[in-house]
Amino acid sequence: MKDRTRPSLLALGLMASLTASAAGVRSPGMLANTCAGCHGTLGASAGEQMPSIAGMDNGYLFSVLSDYKTGLRRSTIMGRLMKGYSDQEIWAIAAFFAEQPWVSTDRVARADQIRVGREIHERQCESCHEDAGRAQDDDSPRMAGQWSGYLNYALETCRDIGRRCHPNKMGERVMALSDQEIEALARFYESEK
């Protein structure tokens, strides 16, 4: 005999579907949950090769995510993920992470790396990445407190593609840097909080 006091699974599914439709598109938090596996809970990465994205400028994040979607920015996974989102959803994801607090790494570099990295920063990077890499805007991400493993990878990739790096001036500025200089620059930024 059927228990008529409990709604059927079909009825529960229908009610959930109607409730979700009435509420509109998925919430920014729900959309951003997809990113947690690589970029950490609320965008604070716990792994050296993945960038922290919490607290980044929302215009910058939207631009980067859109570039992944269109293929302008090369990737292995990000491009495929972003193709599944509308521009409105990508903006919601960017805004969600922009609202989260920045969490710096707790690493400290050797003094010689910090000195060399600071010299390179002041000579080649300060005009866009002001305040030792803490300043950010639509074109420039926060660098201070970011993982050196990720920064090293990003700088090497930019150096390898040269003027095709986005923005172009970035590629021009890192083309002449040696592996040791890139590592020192990445360690310098990582040690800044």
| Beta carbons within 8 Å of 175's beta carbon, 6+ residues apart | 159, 162, 163
- Say whether both 115 and 163 belong to one domain: yes
Q: What would the pLDDT profile of 29-63 be if each residue is shown by its tens digit?
A: 999 999 999 999 899 998 899 999 999 999 999 99
State the Cα–Cα distance between residues 34 and 83, nearest whole angstrom: 13
Q: What would the pLDDT profile of 148-190 be if each residue is shown by its tens digit?
A: 999 999 999 999 988 788 778 888 889 989 999 999 999 999 9
- Say whether both 156 and 91 belong to one domain: no
Q: Check residue 1 and give its pLDDT.
A: 46
* 12 within domain boundaries: no
- Say whether both 187 and 115 belong to one domain: yes
**Cβ count near 19 (within 10 Å):** 9
* 89 within domain boundaries: yes
- The CA-CA-CA angle for residues 153, 157, 160, to 5°, reads 140
Arithmetic mean of pLDDT over the chain: 87
Reported pTM: 0.82
Q: Residue 57's domain spans which residues? A: 27-98
Structural domains counted in the chain: 2
Q: Check residue 24 and give its pLDDT.
A: 59
- Say whether both 119 and 171 belong to one domain: yes
